[in-house]
């Protein structure tokens, strides 16, 4: 017998108008409120995941399961490529499946703390390398919007199995001397189709 039926049986007994009924009602209020279908809504919040300063180096990638469902949503990799008569070591992010990163003009935007990551932003799956080491005619140059990244933010959107979308950020740095991309932490908002700000960790 569920709580709804128990409570109904008590209040229908003649003469049972004592203080104990009031206490019972208070203690079972939240259980009774769930008797109506569709009355339960997910609680909004922000999940923060410490990624332990994971490193992406030559021939070493990092895949991230953002929502803990057992499948990776974002992969950070290095790619050896030949473009325009140059040899390049590219540091890239590849969103998996229907997931996307915040971009402009085909480039993943390097965000400062406080910038908005919201449904109206442009998100794309295929973006240019974050950083590239370019070798040509014996000389080496470095290119990419994230070359000087120091605790900057990459915005993303992920799509869950039910089709709903979550927004979040990954905090990144790049060390040119060590030739590595560093992944510090990430966060995403629980409420579907609702944005947040880069670096945000609480709901205000």
Residue 153 contacts residue 142 (beta carbons within 8 Å): no
Q: pLDDT tens digits for 159-193?
A: 998 899 999 999 999 999 999 999 999 999 999 99
What pLDDT does residue 105 have? 96
User: 188 in a domain, yes or no?
Assistant: yes
pLDDT digits (tens, 9 = 90+) for 42-59: 589 999 999 999 999 999
Angle between helices 19-27 and 3-11 (to 10 degrees): 160
61 and 14 in a common domain: no
Q: Are residues 23 and 106 in the same domain?
A: no
- Asked if 142 and 134 count as a contact pair (C-beta separation under 8 A), the reply is yes
Judged against a pLDDT cut of 90, whether residue 31 lies above it is answered with no
CA distance from start to end of the chain: 41
User: Are both 191 and 91 inside the same structural domain?
Assistant: yes
40 located within any domain: no
In a domain, 136, yes or no: yes
Into how many domains does the chain fold?
2
Please check whether residue 203 lies inside any domain of the structure: no
Average of per-residue pLDDT across 86-110: 97
- The stretch 112-126 carries a mean pLDDT of 97
Looking at the fold, whether 22 and 109 belong to one and the same domain comes out as: no
Give CB contacts under 8 A, 24+ apart, made by 94-100: 95/125, 95/156, 96/71, 96/72, 97/71, 97/73, 97/159, 98/159, 99/73, 99/74, 99/125, 99/156, 99/157, 99/158, 99/159, 100/124, 100/125, 100/156, 100/157
Q: Which pLDDT belongs to residue 42? A: 55
Lowest mean pLDDT among 17-26, 35-44, 126-135: 17-26
Q: Are residues 90 and 147 in the same domain?
A: yes
Domain match, 78 and 150 both: yes
Domain of residue 77: give its range.
Answer: 46-197
In this predicted structure, what is the pLDDT of residue 204? 84
pLDDT for the residue numbered 40: 33
Question: In this structure, are 95 and 8 located in the same domain?
Answer: no
Statement to judge: residues 19 and 60 lie in one domain: no
């Amino acid at each position: 017998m569920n709580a709804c039926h128990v409570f109904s049986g008590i209040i229908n007994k003649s003469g049972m108008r004592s203080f104990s009924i009031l206490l019972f009602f208070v203690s079972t209020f939240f259980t009774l409120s769930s008797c109506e279908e569709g009355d339960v809504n997910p609680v909004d919040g922000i999940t923060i995941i410490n990624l332990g300063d994971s490193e992406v180096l030559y021939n070493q990638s990092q895949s991230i399961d953002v929502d803990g469902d057992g499948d990776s949503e974002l992969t950070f990799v290095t790619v050896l490529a030949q473009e325009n008569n140059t040899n390049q070591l590219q540091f890239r992010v590849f969103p998996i499946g229907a997931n996307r990163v915040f971009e402009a003009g085909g480039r993943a935007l390097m965000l400062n703390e406080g910038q908005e990551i919201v449904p109206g932003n442009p998100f794309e799956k295929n973006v240019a390398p974050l950083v590239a080491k370019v070798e040509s005619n014996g000389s080496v140059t470095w290119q990419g919007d994230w070359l000087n990244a120091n605790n900057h933010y990459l915005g993303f959107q992920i799509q869950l199995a039910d089709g709903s979308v979550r927004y979040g950020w990954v905090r990144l740095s790049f060390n040119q001397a060590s030739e590595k991309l560093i992944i510090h932490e990430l966060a995403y908002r629980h409420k579907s189709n609702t944005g947040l700000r880069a670096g945000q960790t609480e709901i205000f």
